[in-house]
Amino acid sequence: MRPCIRSDTLVSSWLRSERSDVTQSQSLVERARRLAGLSRSELARRSGASRPTLAAYAAGTKSPTLSTAERIVRAAGFELDIVPRLAFRETAVGRGRVAYVPDHLPQLPIERALRRVRLPLDLNWSQPGREFNLSDRQQRARVYEIVLREGTAADITEYIDGALLADMWPDLVLPAAIRSQWQDLIEAVAGHPAA
């Protein structure tokens, strides 16, 4: 299985405007090269593009077509992927507080879903600097509880993986108002009412 470079806006941005085409394609090609740990010379050899052309893409002085970018990204060992963009709604959950709820569950790459994290002070004000290991179920549950209670849409996108959330949903300690806002999403994934 080949790794995917995922971006919620990758293809839609490409198709929307020439300006974003230049920005997305140069960053995409360069990102693929760096993630693969390849020199420009090696990527040029693998993809059939010249090293000066790859340098021009990286500098933004030249922009590849979508098919050229796809060929170069594949040569680096990746695939392009279209991923639905998350849209969030802000909902009141009492005492002047709001919760952010996405239109579908977020999906993180496995290395991000199970990494070690230090939550920013605005999220984890009671234990500043504490490191959480997201590969540990109990620590991940604690992070998910904090982020769902205190976090913004950006925090949810950064720390929450929908499949892992659905798996541990019955075990999370959440205010009823927040749980009720997320319940339909969890049930849609689980295929039945969640606890």
Tens of each residue's pLDDT in the chain, 195 residues: 445 454 433 333 333 333 344 445 457 899 899 999 999 999 999 999 999 999 999 988 999 999 999 999 999 999 988 888 999 999 999 888 999 999 999 999 999 999 999 999 999 988 888 999 999 999 999 999 999 999 999 999 999 999 999 999 999 999 999 999 999 999 988 775 555
- Asked if residue 50 is part of any domain, the answer here is yes
Query: Do 93 and 114 lie in a common domain?
Result: yes
- Based on the fold, state whether residues 62 and 13 are members of the same structural domain: yes
Residue 107 sits in the same domain as residue 183 = yes
Q: Do 20 and 101 share a domain, yes or no? A: no
- Residue pair 101/28 in contact (Cβ under 8 Å)? The answer is no
Residue 195 lies in a domain: no
Q: 62 and 98: one domain?
A: no
Residue 80 bridge partners (DSSP): 5
Q: Which residues contact 31 (CB under 8 A, 6 or more apart)?
A: 5
CB 113 within 8 A of CB 156: no
Q: What is the DSSP letter of 171?
A: G
Whether residues 111 and 183 fall in one domain? yes
User: Is 109 a member of any domain?
Assistant: yes
**Domain membership flag for residue 131:** yes
When divided into structural domains, the chain yields a total of 2
- The reply to whether 59 and 130 lie within a common domain is no
Is 39 a domain residue?
yes
Rg of the chain, C-alpha, whole Å: 20
The residue type found at 117 is V
Asked if the structure places residue 135 within a domain, the reply is yes
pLDDT value, residue 148? 97
Q: In this structure, what token pair is assigned to residue 106? A: 């977020």
98 and 63 in a common domain: no
Tell me the CATH number at 72.
Answer: 1.10.260
| DSSP output for 38-85 | --HHHHHHHHT--HHHHHHHHHTSS---HHHHHHHHHHTT-EE---PP
Final residue belonging to a domain, choices 61, 80, 99? 80
Single pTM value for the model: 0.71
Tell me, yes or no, whether 100 and 68 share the same domain: no
Domain boundary among 39, 56, 80: 80
Same domain, 97 and 53: no
pLDDT recorded at residue 192? 56
Same-domain check for residues 115 and 143: yes
What's the confidence (pLDDT) of residue 190?
Answer: 75
The boundaries of the domain holding residue 128 are 88-190
Q: 186 and 98 share a domain?
A: yes
Last residue of a domain, one of 52, 80, 108: 80
Pairwise CA distance, residues 93 & 127, whole Å:
24
